[in-house]
Amino acid sequence: MTTDSAATRRAFLDVREWLFPRWRAGATWQVRRAEKSAYHRGGYCHTARRLIYVAPHLEGIEAREVLVHEICHAVTGAYHGTRFQRRLLAAARVARKRSPELAEAIEKDLRDIRDSSITKAHEVYTSLYDAVSIRGLTDWRQLVRWLAYDHARSPGEMLSRFRRMRSVYESALRERQESLDAERVWRERIALAERST
């Protein structure tokens, strides 16, 4: 696949028709070659614009694997959760018949995602606690989405796998409020001491 837009479009259409034949909405999607800061491994799926970006330096199997990865996001959503991983695996199985090299690249991507998603509960709870008590992030839904993205899962998968998230969040909120209250009292005492001198 070259950086020329016609060749990129042909590669997108080929991958879409071959590996995602039931993805009817794919007919309304576009693909572009462009550098984006939001790239993860050379591609980006902008679902609101129905646009897939592929880094211009990628060629051949690498570029096609990125197309497969980003189409899986278009089909299943932004997270690397179970639905995404199943769809990626299905694409690898179909690809094996026609292009073993592409199948290998897709399977490597899947292994990398799975390796990064082996998460210990302690890591999740510590990240959540620190985000609230130290960084002051208090929006529950935003925190769940952030942790889900960070640990390659969907928000629902995070909540079902790490059931103590809500209690850790509430504990961190209480500690943060106590810390803010203590700091306020301390500042008031300093201000009072400065006024009396």
pLDDT at 14: 96
- Do 157 and 82 form a contact (C-beta atoms < 8 A)? yes
Per-residue pLDDT of 119-138, as tens digits, reads: 678 888 888 998 998 888 99
pLDDT at 1 exceeding the cut of 60: no
pLDDT at 102 exceeding the cut of 60: yes
Alpha helices in the chain (DSSP H): 5-19, 60-76, 82-98, 100-116, 121-133, 140-150, 155-161, 165-196
- pLDDT category at 141 given cuts 50, 70, 90 is very high
pLDDT at 40 exceeding the cut of 70: no
Return mean pLDDT, the chain: 89
pLDDT at 164 exceeding the cut of 80: yes
Options 3.30.300.30, 3.30.2010.10, 2.170.190.11, 3.40.640.10; CATH of 5-116: 3.30.2010.10
What pTM did the predictor assign? Answer: 0.66
Per-residue pLDDT of 61-85, as tens digits, reads: 999 999 999 999 999 988 888 889 9
Burial class (CB in 10 A: 0-12, 13-18, 19+), 106: buried
Looking at residues 23-45, what average pLDDT do you find? 84
Looking at residues 39-49, what average pLDDT do you find? 83
